[in-house]
């Protein structure tokens, strides 16, 4: 009993590590390092973006060389940083400066939608840890559903589509606002638009995708649990 408990605990810990480490390395580290370089070390926006691109660039290269595949999250963050570096050269017109802030949202939105089109929804990496919760039973259920349930796969794609569309819509709204509203208004309204977009993305993606996927996962876990005693009895006979 004790051995099984320890083994389950280790498997759960390993599962959490496998799901959260890529998110930390590919998303959290680049974003955190950008603000660290810019705000704490006083670097320019250009320098902060350049240095914060080191980790995603390295992970993208390692993925291509070692695993013969592109690390999607790392490549997307690298792409966004490159776009931001190019946009950092834009100066002069205050409205153009406001509009260029939407470039990051559009780059991420397009990247997400492209990932859906090629059959590898990018937002899955961010959603899976919250649904699986490091539980080995849910991890097994996820693998079975992902490989054998069309409804589960549709919901998985829908999750990424929602976020891609929301981010592109945010981009369009910010550009329209930059050229139609007073500059002083858009300075603070831009942040409000971003917050509303994130909230809308969470609500919509939860309703059309994450919620149904969670229910399918729980049902699959229950099915496996109910089948285990029957299998054990049949084996014993």
pLDDT at 98: 67
pLDDT at 200: 92
pTM above 0.85, yes or no: no
- DSSP E strands: which ranges in 3-123? none
Positions in the chain whose pLDDT score sits under 50: 1-8, 10-19, 231-234, 236
Give how far Cα 63 sits from Cα of 22, 103, 233, Å.
Answer: 12, 26, 45
Domain boundaries, the chain: 1-89, 92-237
């Amino acid at each position: 009993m004790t051995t099984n408990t320890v083994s389950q605990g280790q498997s759960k810990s390993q599962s959490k590590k496998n799901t959260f480490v890529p998110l930390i390395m590919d998303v959290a580290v680049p974003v955190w390092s950008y603000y660290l370089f810019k705000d704490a070390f006083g670097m320019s926006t250009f320098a902060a973006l350049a240095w914060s691109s080191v980790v995603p660039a390295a992970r993208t290269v390692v993925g291509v060389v070692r695993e013969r595949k592109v690390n999607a999250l790392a490549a997307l963050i690298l792409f966004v940083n490159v776009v931001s570096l190019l946009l950092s050269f834009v100066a002069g017109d205050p409205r153009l400066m406001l509009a260029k802030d939407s470039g990051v949202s559009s780059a991420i939105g397009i990247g997400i939608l492209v990932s859906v089109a090629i059959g590898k929804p990018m937002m899955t990496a961010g959603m899976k840890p919250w649904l699986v919760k490091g539980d080995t039973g849910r991890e097994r259920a996820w693998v079975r559903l992902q490989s054998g349930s069309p409804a589960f796969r549709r919901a998985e794609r829908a999750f990424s589509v929602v976020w891609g569309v929301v981010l592109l819509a945010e981009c369009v709204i910010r550009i329209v606002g930059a050229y139609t509203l007073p500059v002083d208004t858009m300075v603070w309204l831009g942040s409000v638009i971003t917050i509303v977009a994130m909230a809308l993305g969470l609500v919509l993606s939860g309703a059309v995708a994450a919620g149904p996927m969670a229910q399918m996962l729980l049902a699959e876990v229950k099915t496996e649990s109910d089948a285990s005693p029957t299998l054990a009895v049949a084996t014993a006979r």
